[in-house]
Amino acid sequence: MRTGRLEAFSDGVIAIIITIMVLEIKVPHGHELAELQSLLPVFISYVLSFIYIGIYWNNHHHMFQAAEHVNGAVLWANIHLLFWLSLVPFASGWMGENHFALWPVVLYGFILLMNGMAYYILLRVLIKLHGENSTLGIAIGKDVKGKISVVIYSIAIALAFVSPWIGLALYGVVAAMWLIPDTRIEKRLVEKSAE
């Protein structure tokens, strides 16, 4: 099976997730500048989640750039990832509306953690299909970055019980770490085409 339709479906789902989040920023009834101030926490939550979904689309794009074909297991590992991504708008809205209170911040971290693990599972299923010595297998290597993210998420959730702001800051650290594009796959593709 070709990767085309899986990519198209994932693009559709991710495009909807990233866009419906904006519906959480409810249009205020008044028309004063102060109305916007009260929306600030929801807006910050939106920005963080937009960046996260953007990162996932970006990495998904890179991953399937290197993938050559898919099977039933890949389809389901991908739907599993989309499931956890689909819960980001809910967690994001809850966190923003409650001004970054403890439990919403913990839930947000938990959803990020599950996304990280779902992404890792998808990666392993793809590597199993293509082989450890395939372009994909070599490019990703030990997936250090992915493993570090999951560790930081776990620490962030634990430290959120000290202060939610510490947790939130650590979610930001992971986002910043991924904003630097995943050059591993690009490098390997360039190397391969140069061979």
Q: Which residues bind a second copy (CB under 8 A)?
A: 1, 5-9, 11-20, 22-25, 27-33, 35-36, 47, 50, 54, 57-58, 61, 65, 71-73, 75-76, 79, 82-83, 86-87, 89-90, 93-94, 97-98, 101-104, 107, 179, 181, 183, 186
Q: For residues 181 and 120, give the distance between their C-alpha atoms in angstroms, rounded to a whole number.
A: 17
Q: Which residues contact 188 (CB under 8 A, 6 or more apart)?
A: 66, 135, 138, 139
**Nearest approach, Cβ of 25 to a second copy (angstroms)?**
5
**Nearest approach, Cβ of 88 to a second copy (angstroms)?**
9
- Pick 36 or 173: Cβ nearer a second copy: 36
Q: What angle do CA 48, 105, 170 make, to 5 degrees?
A: 60
Take residue 130 and report the two structure tokens written for it.
């293509």
- Pick 143 or 186: Cβ nearer a second copy: 186
Write b or e for each residue in 119-156: b if 16 or more Cβ atoms lie within 10 A of its Cβ, otherwise e: bbbbbebbbebbeeebbbbbbbeebebbeebbebbeeb
- Pick 83 or 165: Cβ nearer a second copy: 83
**Nearest approach, Cβ of 195 to a second copy (angstroms)?**
19
Name the helix (H) or strand (E) containing 59.
helix 40-66
Residue 95 contacts residue 164 (beta carbons within 8 Å): no
**Nearest approach, Cβ of 182 to a second copy (angstroms)?**
8
- Pick 28 or 172: Cβ nearer a second copy: 28
- Pick 15 or 151: Cβ nearer a second copy: 15
**Nearest approach, Cβ of 146 to a second copy (angstroms)?**
17
Residue 97 contacts residue 40 (beta carbons within 8 Å): no
**Nearest approach, Cβ of 23 to a second copy (angstroms)?**
7
| Residue 166 burial (C-beta neighbours within 10 Å; 0-12, 13-18, 19+) | middle
- Pick 99 or 132: Cβ nearer a second copy: 99
